[in-house]
Amino acid sequence: MSVTAPLGFRAAGIAAGIKTGGARDLALVVNDGPSRAAAGVFTRNRVKAAPVVWSEQVVKGGKVRAAILNSGGANACTGHPGFQDTHVTAEKTAEVLEESAGQIVVCSTGLIGERLPMDALLPGVVTAASQLSRDGGLAAADAIRTTDTVSKISFKRGEGGYMVGGMAKGAGMLAPALATMLCVITTDADVPADQLDAVLRRAVAVTFDRLDTDGCMSTNDTVLLMASGASGVVPDPAEFEKRITGLCADLARQLLVDAEGATKAIAIEVVGAASEEDAVTVGRSVARSNLLKCAIHGEDPNWGRVLSAVGVTDAEFEPDRLNVAINGVWICRGGAAGDDRDKVDLRPRDVTITVDLSAGPHAATIHTTDLTAAYVHENSAYSS
């Protein structure tokens, strides 16, 4: 179902020959309206891929007819010729849809620094358009995978009967903002572009933006939200935001669980912070400690590595008032050893590390994974 769960959307996913090996590598998602309201959030990396530079401009107009997405190449760091490739891709998509290129979002994912095989991609656009259907959501979600072992899709029904649906990809280079991810979210609710934009920014900030598996920020991250209005439902704003946030959280969780080489899903829950910003800063610092991530992989409740990661931040805290629990056992109290570390059960896949800064009422959770030999293997053997 994914992006075609809501009314007004068709999709396709095909093998255009961009990847070697014959796997699907080109997805097309079309909004048949009646509305074309859209919003997008993009990577904050200053080295932006050509499709990001293009699509940021498209989304500023507030209207998107379609998104064309390829795996098998990021089209990042490809200079002016690469930007031209994106432009030509948008033009070709517009042509087959009898549309303006100014309403075509382009997304790419894969190896940085290489040109896309346009002789495969452009005929692929025509094929994809010919296969557009109301059932095409799963094929589209499959076509955007790189090292993802499974497709990531989600859909939810909102109050009054409207639908939201989405697909995402991303397995490595997951860090704010965003992850190395592409995500397309659709809805048949009738919501104007400025409201979509506000909702999407807030939803991304507390979901995708709090995922940090390897601290590496991508050049291509894109989250696109398109509304067709085809259900005729004008949703309650708060309820709609809750629905979109829930969908993003669901997809973010799927990205986390499928992160490269991961055997643990680790929630770094920071409480007692003087501000939410402090909580996020501390959570990120802990989530990026390679030493801690190795320890959790080895099922070693090494809370000293948590404290040493807290200590490098500028958050408000006193070292001798820090408390740390791992899976509910407060093994560090007042900055020193607390309950017996042998009580910590680290065998389950899900691990929660709670850091209490004892400095205020604010909290935030950052999601990360363990660091494994499989991560090293995947990222040293695969040019991605």
Peptide bond before 251: cis, by omega within 30 degrees of 0?
A: no
**How near is the Cβ of 250 to a second copy at its closest, in Å?**
26
C-alpha torsion 65→70→73→74, nearest 10? 40
Q: Which of 337-374 are b and which e, b meaning 16 or more Cβ less than 10 Å from the residue's Cβ?
A: ebeeeeebebeeeebebbbbbbbbebbbbbbbbbbbee
Q: Which of 180, 219, 354, 368 is catalytic?
A: 180
**How near is the Cβ of 248 to a second copy at its closest, in Å?**
22
Question: Footprint of a second copy on residues 50-79 (CB under 8 A)?
Answer: 74, 76-79
The smaller minimum CB distance to a second copy, of residues 10 and 19, is found at 19
313 is in an annotated binding site: no
- Is residue 238 within the footprint of a second copy (CB under 8 A)? no
d(CA 26, CA 24): 6
Q: Using CA of residue 288, residue 314, residue 180, residue 148, what is the dihedral sign?
A: positive
**How near is the Cβ of 289 to a second copy at its closest, in Å?**
6
By the 8 A CB rule, do 330 and 323 touch?
Answer: yes
265 in the Ramachandran plot: left (φ > 0), alpha (ψ -120 to 50) or beta? beta
The smaller minimum CB distance to a second copy, of residues 133 and 383, is found at 383
- Is residue 126 within the footprint of a second copy (CB under 8 A)? no
Q: Can you say how many angstroms the Cα of residue 127 is from the centroid of all Cα atoms in its chain?
A: 27
Q: Count CA atoms closer than 13 A to 240's CA, side-chain side.
A: 23
Q: Which of 279-318 are b and which e, b meaning 16 or more Cβ less than 10 Å from the residue's Cβ?
A: bbbbbbbbbbbeebbbbbbeeebbbebbbebbeebebebe
146 is in an annotated binding site: yes
302 is in an annotated binding site: no
The smaller minimum CB distance to a second copy, of residues 35 and 281, is found at 281
**How near is the Cβ of 259 to a second copy at its closest, in Å?**
12
180 is in an annotated binding site: yes
Question: Footprint of a second copy on residues 313-332 (CB under 8 A)?
Answer: 313, 317, 319-320, 322, 332
Q: Is 313 a catalytic residue?
A: no
**How near is the Cβ of 168 to a second copy at its closest, in Å?**
19
**What does the per-residue mask of binding to a second copy show for 169-198, with x meaning CB under 8 A?**
---xx-------------------------
Closest C-alpha to 52, from 221, 172, 225: 221
Residues 335, 346, 362, 365: which binds a second copy (CB under 8 A)? 335
- Catalytic positions: 180
- The annotation places the binding site at 146, 169, 180, 260, 379, 384
Binding site for a second copy (CB under 8 A): 44-48, 74, 76-79, 81-82, 111-115, 172-173, 214-219, 288-291, 294-295, 297-298, 300, 302-305, 307-313, 317, 319-320, 322, 332, 334-337, 371-373, 375-381, 383
